[in-house]
Amino acid sequence: MLIAVCCDRGAPGSTTTSLALGVSTPEPTIVVEADPYGGDLALRCVAPGGHGEAFPPTPTVLTLATEARTTVTPGLAAGKAHEFTGSTRVVPGHFSAEQAAGVKNWAPLAEALRASASRVVADLGRIHSSSPTIPVAAAADVVVMVTRPEVGAVMHLKDRLERLAPVLANIRNAPPVVVPVVVTPKRFAGAVLEHVGRMLAPSNAAGVIAGIGWIALDPTGVEAMHAGQVGGKKNARTPLLKSAGVLNDQINQAAGVGPYGTPEAAQVDAYAGHGEEA
């Protein structure tokens, strides 16, 4: 399964949500920071067994994208990934946007991610209809669009979705399956999801929305995740990872059933699964 995660103006959280989706499931997952503008995931994560040091500077997503031009195998992405937690591997992004100049075509990367034997979460960062990473979004089983609850952020998401949906549908020959995800504290999640559902309902792209999800705004949880504390015997699960676990289930369901219902109906389903302790 390939999950693409992206965001728009004023709604950061693509990288954090991607990593949380990776570490919150026991299913072997490769998190690929495939943001053409570059990223710093290699510097944020503490590699296992290390003493606070991050991943080595290579391989990065550009190594993977370059190799994918000549050979694509089910193990290619895993082979270019650094071990992070027991079940999660990470392919960090390049550090500076300029470094991506040599990779003009991201379609081979899309092919490599799609061919991966392990589940892949591809963090595309900010995306628009002419982004080089459009082939990755088009190849994804589910596209997660991260937003914040502010009206401006949700309206940007609505606009972006309406522009992206036909572009992706044209490449895939089928409508994309999209799950908008709101980053907000747990205590507001119910009201925020309802509000966002209402804002997206009149969208002419509402038919591709397969549920609206939620990720906890949890700075302490983000820090723990970067340190590799992802729950288990010694560490309790943080709100961030509990919400990511529920979102993983929602994504799996969306991938299985495809686009369905109205955003309001989907939103009710989405919130029903959050439970009290998430």
Ligand X SMILES: Nc1ncnc2c1ncn2[C@@H]1O[C@H](COP(=O)(O)OP(=O)(O)O)[C@@H](O)[C@H]1O
Task: Using CB under 6 A, list all residues that contact ligand X.
Answer: 7, 12-16, 125, 183, 215-219, 222, 240
Smallest distance from the beta carbon of 38 to Mg ion, in angstroms? Answer: 9
The one of ligand X, Mg ion, none whose footprint includes residue 244, by CB under 5 to 8 A per kind, is none
The one of Mg ion, ligand X, none whose footprint includes residue 92, by CB under 5 to 8 A per kind, is none
Smallest distance from the beta carbon of 44 to ligand X, in angstroms? Answer: 8
DSSP 65: H
- Integer-rounded Cα Rg, in Å, for the chain is 17
* Binding segment toward Mg ion, per CB under 5 A, in 15-23, 74-82, 141-149, 181-189: 15-23
Q: Are 196 and 189 in contact (CB under 8 A)?
A: no
Smallest distance from the beta carbon of 78 to ligand X, in angstroms? Answer: 22
Token pair, residue 115, equals 């061919």
- H or E stretch at 271: helix 263-272
Per DSSP, the three-state class of 59 is: coil
Q: Are 157 and 9 in contact (CB under 8 A)?
A: no
Q: In the set 39, 180, 211, 263, which binds Mg ion (CB under 5 A)?
A: 39
Smallest distance from the beta carbon of 14 to ligand X, in angstroms? Answer: 3
Nearer Cβ to ligand X, position 123 or 141? Answer: 123
Q: In the set 2, 3, 8, 15, which binds Mg ion (CB under 5 A)?
A: 15
Nearer Cβ to Mg ion, position 6 or 216? Answer: 6
Chain residues 69-88 in contact with Mg ion, contact rule CB under 5 A = none
Nearer Cβ to ligand X, position 108 or 149? Answer: 149
CA dist 74 and 45 (Å) reads: 25
Nearer Cβ to Mg ion, position 125 or 228? Answer: 125
The length of the chain in residues reads 278
Nearer Cβ to ligand X, position 125 or 197? Answer: 125
CA dist 238 and 36 (Å) reads: 30
Token pair, residue 53, equals 């040091």
CA dist 47 and 83 (Å) reads: 7
In the chain, the amino acid numbered 81 is A
- Residues lying near Mg ion in the complex (CB under 5 A) are found at 15, 39, 125
